[in-house]
Amino acid sequence: MDTWFVACMRSLLASWLVCAWLLVSLGASAAAADLSAAEPPLWFDADRPTAQAQQATQILLTAADEGLEPNHYQASELSLAVTQASTGSALTTTEQARLDATLTRAMAHYLSDLTVGRVNPQQVSANFAATVSPTTDIAEWLREALREQRLRQKVAQLATQAPMAVPLRLALTRYRALMNHPAWQTSLPALPRGKLQAGQAWTGLPLLAQRLQVLGDLATEAPTPERLEGELRAALERFQERHGLIIDGVLGRKTLQQLNVAPGQRAEQIALTLERLRWTPLRQSARMVVVNVPEFVLRAYEVQDGKIDVKLTMKVIVGKALDTRTPLFDEEMRFIEFSPYWNVPPSIARSETVPKLRADPGYLAQQEMEFVAPGGQVITSMAPEYLDAVLAGKWRIRQRPGPKNALGDIKFIFPNNDNIYLHHTPSPGLFERDRRDFSHGCIRVEEPVALANFVLQDDPVWTDARIVAAMTAGKSSTLRLKQPLTVLIAYSTVVAKAGRVFFYPDLYGHDRLLAQALRQHAAALSP
C-alpha cells in the first residue's frame, strides 16, 4: 500500500509540475489575448490580414527548425485561416477579432517556448530558477515589432540568443535531412574478432566510409581503401573525437555503437539540447565558470557585448553516474581555500572510512587523518568509541593538508545546499580516462593554478608564484574573494565547437528525463 501511495503521489506531482509550468508559460499569451480585445487588431489592416500576419504563420510553420512542434501553435490551421481571410470573403468583425486574438495567443505561446523553454528546469533535475522571458509583455513586444516592420528579424534575434543556438539549429536541419539516407538503411556487418585494428580488411569498409563522408568526417572524394588505414582511419579518429570516445583509430564495440546511432536519434538529441539552452543561465554574469557534466569539461569565460570569450578550458572529474551524481545548479564562488582540510562527509565516513579504520586502525595515520570532537578538540589516536561517536554524528573525521589530501591543495568554494565544490586531486592520472565520473559528487579540476589565476585575475597581488606557494604551504588558509564569481554546473550532451558538432553520452539520464517531460507537456496541450 505504501509503495502504491508513493507512486501515485509522484505521478500527481509530475502532472502538477507540467500544468503549473504550462500555466506560467501561457500566462503572457492569455494576457495578450485580453489586451488585444481592447486594442486595435494586431494582424489586420482594414478587413484583411497584413503581410506580417502571413510572416507570423510562416514563423509558426517553421517552428521545427528550432526543435519545437508547429502543431503546438496551431500553425497549419492559422496559416490556412489567414490565407483564406486574405483571398476569400471579408470576415465579420467577430471573426476578425477571434482570428486576431488566436494568432496573438499562438505567437505568445511560441515566443515563450522559444525564449524560456517548455519545461520547468527543476522538473528535470536542474536547480535553476525559471528564466524570465524578454517578451513578458507579449502584446507590447509584438506591437513594437510590427510598427518597425521587423517581426521576422526580432524573432530571429530571440532564437539565436542562447549560446551555440546557431550552429545547433544548422546541425538539427542537417541531421533531419539524413533521416532516410541510404547509409543507415543497411547495418554494418559484424567486426572480425570483436574489433578492427589499423591495417585490417573488413567487408564493412565501403559502408563505413559512406557514413563518415555523410557526417563530414571524411572528404567525399576520398577513395575507399581495402584496409583500415590512411585517410579513412584519420576520419574514424575524427568521428571518435566528436563522440567522446578514445581516439585510437580502432573500430571497437563503443565506436561501432556510436556509428550505428541513426541521424534521427541525433536530431532528437540536438532538439533536447536546444531546449536545455533556453533555461540554462549561461550569460547571467560577465565572468563565469561553467562545468558541462557529460563532456567532463570546465570552461571559464567572459561575456563581452553579448558574446562569450572562453579564457580557459580544462578536463574535470564529476560524480559517479551510478550513485553520487553531481547536481546541476548555479551559485556564487566566494572563497578559495589553500592547503585545505578535507572534512569527510558523514555518508562517506559511514560507508567507507569507518569500515576501513575498523579493519586497519593504522589507516588513520597512513592517510593523515584525525578526529574532531564537538568542542573542536583534535584527536590523532584510534579507539573504537571514537568510531562509534562518528557513526552517531557527534564526532567527525578530517584529513590534514598535504600530498595525500583528497582535495589536493586547493578548494574553490561556492556555498550550496549540496556541499559541492571544485578542488584539485592527488590522483591526476584519472584525467587521462575518456570517461571521468569517479567522484562522490564534487568536481576535481585538472589545472587548479590556471583556474585560480582566472578567478583572481583582477587582484594583481595573486601571481602564479603566490598561488602555488599558498597551495603548498601545508597550512590551511581561506581567501574571501573581493568579487563573487558565478559557477554553473550544466548538462549538455551536444556541444558545438569550432564549426563542428560533438555528441556525448547521456551520463545521468537527464536527456531521457527531459524527453519524458516534453511528452507530458505535449499531452497536456492536446485538446
**Which CATH number fits the domain that encloses residue 305?**
2.40.440.10
Domain that holds residue 74: 2-175
Higher-confidence position of 498 and 516: 516
- 485/460 same-domain check: yes
Position 347 in a domain: yes
Q: What are the tens digits of pLDDT across the range 454-499? A: 999 999 999 999 999 999 999 999 999 999 999 999 999 999 998 9
Of 175, 194, 220, the position where a domain reaches its end is 175
- 299/246 same-domain check: no
Position 523 in a domain: no
- List, as one string, the DSSP characters of 139-200: HHHHHHHHHTT-HHHHHHHHHT-STTHHHHHHHHHHHHHTTT-GGGTSPPPPPGGGSB-TT-
- 341/465 same-domain check: yes
Position 520 in a domain: no
Of 128, 147, 175, the position where a domain reaches its end is 175
Query: What is the model's pTM?
Result: 0.88
The mean-pLDDT minimum among 46-50, 77-81, 175-179 falls in: 46-50
User: What pLDDT, on a 0 to 100 scale, did the predictor assign at position 301?
Assistant: 96
Position 234 in a domain: yes
Strand partners, 45: 48
User: What pLDDT, on a 0 to 100 scale, did the predictor assign at position 44?
Assistant: 94
| Calpha distance 114→165 (Å, rounded) | 11
- 253/290 same-domain check: no
Amino acid at 234: A
The mean-pLDDT minimum among 7-16, 184-193, 467-476 falls in: 7-16
Contact present, 299 and 290 (Cβ < 8 Å): yes
User: What pLDDT, on a 0 to 100 scale, did the predictor assign at position 304?
Assistant: 87
- 231/332 same-domain check: no
| Calpha distance 441→324 (Å, rounded) | 5
Q: What is the CATH number of the domain that holds 191?
A: 1.10.101.10
- 454/376 same-domain check: yes
Spacing of C-alpha 218 from chain mean position: 28
Contact present, 244 and 491 (Cβ < 8 Å): no
- 387/497 same-domain check: yes
- 418/483 same-domain check: yes
| Calpha distance 218→235 (Å, rounded) | 5
Higher-confidence position of 72 and 283: 72
User: What pLDDT, on a 0 to 100 scale, did the predictor assign at position 20?
Assistant: 35
| Calpha distance 97→79 (Å, rounded) | 16
The mean-pLDDT minimum among 6-20, 269-283, 322-336, 410-424 falls in: 6-20
Q: What are the tens digits of pLDDT across the range 384-414? A: 999 999 999 999 999 999 999 999 999 999 9
Higher-confidence position of 63 and 193: 63
- 356/389 same-domain check: yes
Position 509 in a domain: no
Of 175, 206, 233, the position where a domain reaches its end is 175
Q: What are the tens digits of pLDDT across the range 216-271? A: 999 988 899 999 999 999 999 999 999 999 999 999 999 999 999 999 999 999 99
Q: What are the tens digits of pLDDT across the range 142-180? A: 999 999 999 999 999 999 888 899 999 999 999 999 999
Contact present, 278 and 159 (Cβ < 8 Å): no
- 237/355 same-domain check: no
Q: What are the tens digits of pLDDT across the range 101-155? A: 999 999 999 999 999 999 999 999 999 987 766 666 777 899 999 999 999 999 9
- 383/340 same-domain check: yes
**Angle at Cα 363 formed by Cα 360 and Cα 365, nearest 5°?**
135
Number of domains in the chain: 3
The three three-digit cell numbers of residue 136, written as one number: 513578458
Position 525 in a domain: no
The three three-digit cell numbers of residue 261, written as one number: 546511432
Residue 12 has pLDDT above 60, yes or no: no
User: What pLDDT, on a 0 to 100 scale, did the predictor assign at position 135?
Assistant: 65
Position 510 in a domain: no
Place of cell 554524528: 393
Position 515 in a domain: no
- 461/404 same-domain check: yes
